[in-house]
Amino acid sequence: MHTVFSVAVVVTYVVVLTFVAWRARAAREFREFSLARRALPLALVFGSLAATYVGPGFSIVFVGRGFNSGFLFLGIGLAYSAQNILVGLLVAPRLRALKNCHTLGDAIGQKYNRDCQVLAGVISVCVCTFLAAVMAHAGKVVLSDVFGFPGWSSVIIVVGVTTLYTTFGGLRASVITDAFQFSAFAVLLPIMLLFVLIFHLNGGATVFAREAIDATTAGFGSTSFIEIIGLVAAFLLGETLIPPYANRALASRTTRISRNGFILAGIFSMAWFMAMVALGISARSIIPEGTGEDYVLLKLVKLVLPAGGYALLLVVLVSVVMSSLDSLLNAGAVAFTQDIVKPFVELPDHRALYIGRSATIIIAMIAAAVVPFVPSIIDGLLICYTIWASAILPALIIGLWIKKPRPLAGILSMGVGTVVAMIAIICLFVFPSLIDVPAIIIPALGAALLAYVVGHWIAKIREERK
């Protein structure tokens, strides 16, 4: 009966979500598919950003990390909050102010040249695809654990439903459904925290404080200094203006909305991280020690909530996955169309829209196929963060701020950053006992920055000689 009720609730939710997406109406032109006509109000920008921020990495993973390492991971997560506030203050308005800009590749192309745009587009599509695979893996964890579905069928359900409304509705459908999902899980998960603290935490505040101290002490004891530095760098830089977030900045109605959307979402993420870590610490006295990080939240939900509450939380977790997945699929499709195809082929609007929709489906299929190779949610995220921060950020941020960016600096930085990041990732899998996942971002980012400086210097000398 418990499972039947849960299935009924999930099916009802999917039907409602599909209706919401349908009401958002199908995109009729590429500009609507990619940027929602640059008309998003603050509420939708904030709601969509927050829904994407608090996806599986910042709900399932933060609960698991709170369970194992206490408030250590809260401090690391706050670096992410600071990054979004800084992006809102310093970067998002400059990005929104660019004319005829659909993607980060467009921005890089305007600041450097076409070659840089194409390379940025390839990197954007690859990162979006791999991040989508991580989100699909999270969906598999939820549905397989709850219903006992085979992993492949869980992936098909989550990816299939998300692809359906994202393919036809584009960015507008994505942000409207994200705002709908955000309103659901931003309320229900904190309510669950209060429920656990009031009715299931024997010993109250005293037990919570003791568990928090024990977990945090254990977290610092098991985490090396270089790993902490790597985690802070990854959360500070790894998701900075990844394609879904950049699309929200570009699609906002004004530069002020772009700025305020990021600032408000960053402030909200602070409260969210606190709630998720507290939920993980509370679980230490309720669920067995040694529970895998990706399963702490699910086991806690099973043990403490009645069937109705359990079903609602299941809906929340599924929506958490979908709100991140739809953004990645749309952003990857837009980057493919705008940054890889359009620089070489003149596309009328209807052809661009067709290619964007087709790319959404293809990226979804590739992401689903990559799911078996995702090691875990947090490790998958950190690997993607390493590639993105190293390959794109130096060229993007410096290009937006200096007066005369040199194309050679941009292409060298992106190329070297990508190669070093990939070498570091390969070394991670070959020598897992010697290298920590968070630490690989440090040499990759350092190499990208050095390559930018060298490229800028060489290009400047050439110009002076001419």
Share the mean pLDDT of the chain: 82
Look at 9-13, 74-78, 251-255 and tell me which has the smallest mean pLDDT.
Answer: 9-13
User: Helix (H) and strand (E) counts for the chain?
Assistant: 20, 0
Q: Which CATH number goes with the domain that contains 135?
A: 1.20.1730.10
The tally of domains found in the chain comes to 1
| Cβ atoms of 60 and 219 closer than 8 Å | no
* Residues 403-413, mean pLDDT to the nearest whole number: 91
State which residues form the domain around 18. Answer: 2-377
Residue 429 lies in a domain: no
Q: Is the model's pLDDT at 91 over the cut of 90?
A: no
Residue 262 lies in a domain: yes
Higher pLDDT residue, 25 or 370?
Answer: 370
Residue 408 lies in a domain: no
Q: Is the model's pLDDT at 319 over the cut of 90?
A: no
Residue 419 lies in a domain: no
Higher pLDDT residue, 16 or 88?
Answer: 88
Residue 190 lies in a domain: yes
**Closest-CA residue to 364 (of 390, 325, 400):** 325
| Cβ atoms of 105 and 122 closer than 8 Å | no
* Residues 324-339, mean pLDDT to the nearest whole number: 89
Q: Give Cα separations from 114 to 111, 247, 410 (angstroms).
A: 10, 20, 11
Higher pLDDT residue, 133 or 10?
Answer: 133
CB-hemisphere CA count at 13 Å for 16?
11
What percent of the chain clears pLDDT 70, i.e. is strictly above it? 80
Q: Is the model's pLDDT at 110 over the cut of 70?
A: yes
Residue 334 lies in a domain: yes
Q: Is the model's pLDDT at 20 over the cut of 90?
A: no
Residue 196 tokens, joined: 């656990």
Q: Is the model's pLDDT at 95 over the cut of 90?
A: no
Q: What is the pLDDT of residues 261-299, one digit of tens each?
A: 999 989 988 888 888 898 888 888 888 887 887 788 878
Q: Name the pLDDT band for 14 (thresholds 50, 70, 90).
A: low
Higher pLDDT residue, 39 or 185?
Answer: 39
Residue 463 lies in a domain: no
Count, residues in the chain: 466
Higher pLDDT residue, 220 or 23?
Answer: 220
280 C-beta neighbours (distance < 10 Å), count: 29
* Residues 373-385, mean pLDDT to the nearest whole number: 84
Residue 387 lies in a domain: no
